[in-house]
């Protein structure tokens, strides 16, 4: 059985890795006024953070269902099944788009998978699925492995300015609580597919330290883990943090990724995240 792996742009998996692992990607878009750009195709993260320095922050949109259907149709010529892995259905309609398109195509079985997260943490699922598909595993077996990964995947993130998340309506909390968080650097995470505050923390430094404490709680068991630092145009800071973590946790495999245009629209420049999963 031949299984294809599809994801969306918000996993921010580089073109090189996508090509190497045979991962198909459907982009979400950012919209500046009357101009729409597909991220990772027509606008890079570097262009985006430069643009927003002198333009109003854009809005974002999910891929049209027709684009999913077209891709699934195309894949049906070569594959028997597709696993389509997407950002959390609690923050975007992208996953539902894959579900709808999956019910429209006839010649291929579509297995939509809600990562309940986004960015390179979603990417962990995608790369694992691609490796299993390349090894000839069938869709059921791959989905089982992804469900197993869900038990150990964790991610926390902080933003410099909470107003972007509030403006985009992606922060699930009472207005009064949000108001009290605007003065601090709250640590955020996903709960039931939605973004909620995890803890009120006063400074960026303390929020980063807290993420590491939470990480330690999991990795102290000594089991093998992989981890990712995700930044919104703060590459130098991410590199320094990675070097510190590598010195402290030599048995963990760390990587650096980024919040690209779509996620950057909702988090704002300066956001920083940390995610991990048991290997
Ligand atoms: C859309 O328009 O459908 C896209 C909406 C994307 C909302 C993004 C909200 C922030 C997600 C943060 C993910 C952090 C993962 C570590």
Domain boundaries, the chain: 3-28+63-150, 154-278
Ligand 1: does its nearest atom lie under 6 Å from the Cβ of 119? yes
Give the β-pairing of 23-26 and 3-8.
parallel
- pLDDT for position 101: 98
Count, in order, helices (H) and strands (E) of the chain.
Answer: 11, 13
Instruction: Give me the CATH code for the 154-278 domain, please.
Output: 3.30.1180.10
Q: Indicate the pTM of the whole model.
A: 0.96
For residue 140, the number of C-alpha atoms closer than 13 Å in the C-beta half-sphere is: 1
- pLDDT for position 176: 58
CA of 26 to the centre of ligand 1 (A): 15
For 217-235, the pLDDT digits (tens) are 999 988 999 999 999 999 9
CA of 91 to the centre of ligand 1 (A): 6
CA of 262 to the centre of ligand 1 (A): 7
For 26-68, the pLDDT digits (tens) are 999 999 999 999 999 999 999 999 999 988 889 999 999 999 9
Name the residue at shortest CA distance from atom 4 of ligand 1: 92
CA of 117 to the centre of ligand 1 (A): 8
- pLDDT for position 224: 93
Ligand 1: does its nearest atom lie under 6 Å from the Cβ of 28? yes
- Across 130-169, b (16+ Cβ under 10 Å) vs e yields bebbeeebebeebbebbeebeeebbbbbbbbebebbbebe
Three-class SS of residue 227?
A: strand
The architecture of the domain spanning 3-28+63-150 is: 3-Layer(aba) Sandwich (3.40)
- pLDDT for position 153: 98
Low-confidence ranges of the chain (pLDDT < 50): none
Cα distance between residue 279 and residue 274, in whole Å: 16
- pLDDT for position 4: 98
Number of other CB atoms surrounding residue 127 within 10 Å:
22
Ligand 1: does its nearest atom lie under 6 Å from the Cβ of 88? no
Nearest alpha carbon to residue 89 among 99, 102, 79: 99
CB within 8 Å of 162: residues ≥ 6 apart: 171, 178, 181, 182, 186
Model-level ipTM above the cut of 0.90: yes
């Amino acid at each position: 059985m031949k299984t294809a792996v599809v994801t969306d742009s918000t996993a921010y998996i580089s073109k090189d890795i996508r090509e190497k692992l045979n991962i198909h990607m459907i982009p979400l878009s950012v919209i500046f006024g009357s101009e729409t750009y597909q991220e990772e195709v027509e606008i890079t993260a570097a262009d985006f953070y430069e643009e927003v320095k002198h333009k109003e922050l854009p809005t974002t949109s999910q891929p049209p269902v027709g684009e999913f259907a077209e891709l699934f149709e195309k894949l049906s010529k070569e594959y028997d099944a597709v696993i389509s892995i997407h950002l959390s259905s609690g923050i975007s309609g992208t996953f539902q788009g894959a579900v709808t398109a999956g019910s429209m195509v006839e010649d291929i079985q579509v297995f939509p998978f809600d990562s309940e997260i986004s960015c390179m943490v979603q990417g962990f699922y995608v790369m694992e699925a691609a490796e299993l598909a390349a090894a000839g595993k069938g869709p059921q077996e791959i989905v089982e492995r992804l469900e197993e990964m869900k038990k150990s995947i964790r991610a926390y993130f902080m933003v410099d300015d909470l107003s972007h998340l509030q403006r985009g309506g992606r922060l699930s909390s009472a207005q009064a609580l949000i108001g009290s968080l605007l003065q601090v650097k709250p640590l955020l995470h996903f709960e039931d597919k939605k973004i909620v505050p995890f803890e009120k923390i006063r400074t960026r430094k303390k929020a980063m330290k807290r993420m590491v404490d939470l990480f330690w709680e999991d990795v102290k068991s000594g089991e093998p883990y992989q981890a990712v630092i995700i930044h919104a145009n703060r590459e130098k800071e991410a590199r320094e943090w990675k070097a510190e973590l590598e010195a402290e946790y030599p048995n963990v495999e760390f990587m650096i990724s980024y919040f690209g245009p779509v996620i950057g629209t909702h988090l704002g420049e300066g956001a920083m995240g940390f995610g991990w999963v048991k290997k």
